[in-house]
Amino acid sequence: MAREKLTKSVVERTPYSKEGQILVWDTDLPGFGLRVGLKTKAFFAEAKVNRKTIRDTIGIYPRIMPEAARSEARALLLDMERGIDPRKKNLAAPALEDAYAAFKKARELAPRTEYDYNRYLRVHFGGWRTKAVNDITTQMVAKRHLELRHKHGEAQANAGMRFLRSLLYFAQAEYGESVIPSNPVTILGHKRQWFREMPRQNVIRATDLPEWFKAVLSLKNDKLSQDRETVRDLLQALLFLGLRRAEGLNLKWENVDLKGKTLTIPKTKNYEPKVLPFGPYMAMLLNARFLDSAGAPYVFPSSSDRTKHLIEPRNVLRDVNKRSGVTHTLHDLRRSFATFLESLDVSVYAARKLMGHKAASNDVMGRHYVVTDVERLRPAVEKLESFVLSAAGVTPAATVVSIDRKRRKK
C-alpha cells in the first residue's frame, strides 16, 4: 500500500493495476484513499463503524477531482466516527410493515410471540403499516397509546407500545440513525405515560379444587365438539405439570417417556430444554391418551386433523368456568401449580427447575452449583399431585398398567 498526498498529479501518474487492486492512502487525511483497478481510479473513505470496517466509494476520477473527494471524505469519516454507516445514510426509510418483515427474518421468534406481534401490527397499528418508520412521531405515539387503552385496556396498550419500541430500535440499527434519529416511543417514559401494570394474582385455590375437578372431569365429547375430552386432559396436565399453554399444546409423543415417567419440552421460553417427571395420576392419564391416540403425533391432537395439535380450547374453558364457578385462564393453572409448590415447602431451586425459570444473574448458587437432577424433582411433583387430588376429593379410577403389559394381553 502506497502513501502519498492525493493530488491531481499523483492520481494521474499512478498506473492502472495489471491485476487486482492497488490502494493509495492519503497522507493528509487518514481514512481517505484511492483505489486503482484495471481500468478505473476511484476515491473512497474507510473507517470502523460499530467495530466493523466500512469502505464507502466517493466517486471515480476524473468525474470527481481529488480536493472535492477529500472534502466529501472528511464528511463521511465524521459520520462514521459518530456511528453512522454512510452506505445506509441515503436509503429510503422503509414502511413499518417492511421493517417488521426484516425484524422477523433477523430474529427467531417463538410461535406465541410471533402470533402476538402479528396481532399488534394488524390490530394496534393497522393504519400505520404502510407509513414510513421515520414518519411516526412522538405525538402520534402518545395519542395512539391512550386510544389503545380505551379500546383494548391498559395492559394491551403497554404491550403494543413495547412491540413498537422494539421494532423501531431494530429499524434504527438496521437502517441507520440518519433514517431514524430517535425512537419516538421513548416519549411515553418522558411523559410518565406508561400505565402501571400490577402482576396477575389469579390462582385456583385449594378450596376451589373440588368444583373445578368436577367440572373438568364431566367434559365429554358431543355433537358440538369432539375436542372436549382432549381439553379435559390438557387442563389437568397444565395444573399437575405447570406447563405453559404452548408447551402443553405442542407436546409430542416422541418427547414423552411413559416408562420413565418423564417428558421433555425441547424448546422453552428461555430457549433451554426442560425435562419434567410426572406422578402416578398423570402417568395413568397419559397412558390412556397414548392407547387412544391412533398414531397421532401430538399428545393433545385436534379432532378435525389428527396430525395437528389442538388449537384453541377457549369455548370449553369457558364452559368449565361457568360450571365450576372458578374463573381462570390457562396460564392461571401454571400460576396455581407454582402456588401449590410454595405452599408445600418445595425448595426454590426445585420449583424454579420445574417452572423452567433461569436463576437470576446474581444467584451464584443457583446458576453454578445447584444441579437438580430430574429424579430429585419427582418427589416434589408427586407431593403436589397427591395434595391436589386429596384437596379435590378425586380418587384415581384405576391402577396404572404399563403399555407393554396391556398390549401383550391383546
Residue 408 has pLDDT above 50, yes or no: no
Q: Which amino acid is at 170?
A: F
Residues 253 and 165 in one domain: no
**Helix, strand or coil, per DSSP, at residue 81:** helix
- Residue 218 forms part of a structural domain: yes
Confidence of residue 75 (pLDDT cuts 50, 70, 90): very high
Residues 142 and 273 in one domain: no
Averaged confidence pLDDT in the chain: 88
**pLDDT (tens digit, 9 = 90+) per residue, 263-310?**
999 877 666 788 999 999 999 999 999 998 878 999 999 998 999 999
- Residue 195 forms part of a structural domain: no
Query: What does each C-alpha distance from 335 to 110, 160, 171, 338 come to in angstroms?
Result: 21, 24, 36, 5
Domain CATH for 238: 1.10.443.10
- Residue 134 forms part of a structural domain: yes
Residue 404 has pLDDT above 50, yes or no: no
Mean pLDDT of 212-241: 94
H/E run at residue 277: strand 274-277
181 vs 173: CA distance, rounded Å = 10
Residues 324 and 360 in one domain: yes
Residues 225 and 248 in one domain: yes
Residues 132 and 213 in one domain: no
Q: What is the largest CA-CA distance in the chain?
A: 98
Residues 102 and 82 in one domain: no
Most confident of 83-87, 173-177, 346-350: 346-350
**pLDDT (tens digit, 9 = 90+) per residue, 360-376?**
555 544 444 444 578 89
Mean pLDDT of 101-127: 90
For 26-35, 88-97, 251-260, 301-310, which range has the lowest pLDDT when averaged over its residues? Answer: 88-97
Better pLDDT: 405 or 257: 257
The tally of CA atoms less than 13 A away on the side-chain side of residue 102 is 17
- Residue 197 forms part of a structural domain: no
Q: What is the pLDDT of residue 43?
A: 96
**pLDDT (tens digit, 9 = 90+) per residue, 6-40?**
999 999 999 999 888 999 999 999 999 999 999 99
- Residue 114 forms part of a structural domain: yes
Q: What is the pLDDT of residue 113?
A: 87
Residue 91 has pLDDT above 70, yes or no: no
Mean pLDDT of 208-216: 96
Residues 62 and 184 in one domain: no
309: nearest Cα among 231, 257, 369: 231
Residues 246 and 393 in one domain: yes
**pLDDT (tens digit, 9 = 90+) per residue, 134-145?**
999 999 999 999
Instruction: Tell me the helix, strand and coil percentages in the chain, rounded to 5.
Output: 50, 10, 35
Residues 108 and 82 in one domain: no
Residues 290 and 377 in one domain: yes
- Residue 200 forms part of a structural domain: no
Q: Where are the alpha helices (DSSP H) in 191-343?
A: 209-217, 228-241, 245-249, 280-291, 314-324, 330-343
- Residue 133 forms part of a structural domain: yes
126 vs 159: CA distance, rounded Å = 15
Range of the domain at 20: 2-89
Residue 247 has pLDDT above 80, yes or no: yes
Q: What is the pLDDT of residue 159?
A: 95
- Provide the edge-to-edge strand list for the sheet that holds 52-61: 2-3, 22-25, 32-36, 41-49, 52-61
Domain CATH for 113: 1.10.150
For 236-250, 304-318, 355-369, which range has the lowest pLDDT when averaged over its residues? Answer: 355-369
Q: What is the pLDDT of residue 142?
A: 96
Mean pLDDT of 200-221: 92
Residues 272 and 321 in one domain: yes
48: nearest Cα among 18, 11, 88, 85: 85
Number of domains in the chain: 3
Mean pLDDT of 89-93: 69
Residues 353 and 402 in one domain: yes
Q: What is the pLDDT of residue 200?
A: 66
